[in-house]
Amino acid sequence: MSGGAGASAGSGDGTAGAATGAAGDNATGAAGAAGDNGGDAGAAVAGANGAAGSTQDGGAVTDGAVTTTGTGCKGATVCYDFEECKTPAGWTVPNYPTDPGEGNQGPGSTLVDMTMAHSGKCSLHMKDFSGNQPQHAFIASLPPKFGPVMWGRAWVYNTATPTSHGALVKTRYAIPNSTDVDWYEVGYENHNYDGIWHSPLPPSGLPEWVLQSNTTIVIGKWTCVEWLFDAQNGTQPQAADPRIWQDGVEVTFKPGFEYDLSNTKGLPRPTTPKASDFVGIEVGLTMYHTIDQVTNIYLDDLAFGSQRVGCND
């Protein structure tokens, strides 16, 4: 089965790259340890009654960002700079399985505070995570008709990074003529990045297609993390693999593998259906195993758009 093409990186001035259509054959890229992601769960964020979208003027995103104060979110369709110094309007705490999301459990918390910020005075603080499977995140809807291509950007400060798998940002997309909502993830594992595509939940969020980076996550300084989730993927028959950048440099990945609880190696890349629209986000640290040291992560100037937001605002 051919893997998704992905889009070109695009220019640093905010224009998205066009889909390349170079599929590559990921069917054989299943070597490597799966790492037990059996605790992974997720849910569709139904509807899109959240933040208002921006308008487009000649292809450039203009007014209408969710938060208009601060300096870190210019040019995005949806933006959170956390300068209200409280949980953004429309963000709710998941209570899995009755609500979308993956639960609110274990040591630690996710909150907006003034401890450290990339710009302004406040940021989203994943505070004092420790122990077995701490999970504290927020979910929110995206504007209607967001589209099937998502560029994302966040400034992130890590005091440590986990050895085991944890999710930082999840984005869910609706599939044409289906009630399923598949999702992409930017996660952490082995002190590197995970880029993951997931099947919908229910029933299980599995199988998933896992790409583990060769790039080590930066500790002790603010880092610009970008991602491209291209569920349109040009004329290709399936949604593309996730792509991630750190400080403007695209990370490289080890061969992908399919994970489905069986721990069977060498399984082909699962089918990744194309999208009609991205409909929701989940932000915060969701650990699926024990976190091996007390960890604080700060996230600021979180932005989403159909074109590249970039790091130079």
Task: Give the number of other Cβ atoms within 10 Å of residue 256's Cβ.
Answer: 25
CB 256 within 8 A of CB 26: yes
* pLDDT given for residue 62 in this prediction: 28
Write b or e for each residue in 164-185: b if 16 or more Cβ atoms lie within 10 A of its Cβ, otherwise e.
bbbbbbbbbbbbeeeeebbbbb
pLDDT in 10s for each residue of the chain, 313 residues:
333 333 333 333 333 333 333 333 333 333 333 334 333 333 333 333 333 333 333 333 323 333 333 356 777 999 999 999 999 999 999 877 777 777 899 999 999 999 999 999 999 999 999 999 999 999 999 999 999 999 999 999 999 999 999 999 999 999 999 988 999 999 999 999 999 999 887 677 889 999 999 999 999 999 999 999 999 999 999 999 999 999 999 999 999 999 888 888 889 999 999 999 999 999 999 999 999 999 999 999 999 999 999 998 6
- Order across the sheet with 166-174: list the strands: 135-141, 277-287, 166-174, 181-189, 192-198, 208-216, 257-259
Chain center to CA of 129: 19
Joined together, the tokens standing for residue 39 give 């605790």
> Burial level of 109, CB count in 10 A (0-12/13-18/19+)?
middle
pTM more than 0.75: yes
Amino acid letter at 246?
Q
Distance CA 86, CA 82 (A): 7
- Specify which residues 64 forms β-bridges with: none
CB 139 within 8 A of CB 282: yes
* pLDDT given for residue 36 in this prediction: 40
56-305 classified as CATH 1.50.10.20 = no
Whether the ω angle into residue 97 lies within 30 degrees of 0, i.e. cis, is yes
Amino acid letter at 102?
E
- Non-local (6+) Cβ contacts of 298 within 8 A are 115, 116, 117, 118, 123, 124, 125, 126, 156, 157
Distance CA 137, CA 79 (A): 17
- Specify which residues 125 forms β-bridges with: 111, 298
CB 284 within 8 A of CB 61: no
Distance CA 256, CA 53 (A): 34
* pLDDT given for residue 46 in this prediction: 36
Joined together, the tokens standing for residue 242 give 């996730």
Amino acid letter at 80?
Y
Which residue, 189, 210, 184, 221, is CA-closest to 297? 221
Joined together, the tokens standing for residue 252 give 């490289």
Distance CA 93, CA 124 (A): 14
- Going from N- to C-terminal start, the domains of the chain cover 56-305
Chain center to CA of 214: 18
* pLDDT given for residue 200 in this prediction: 85
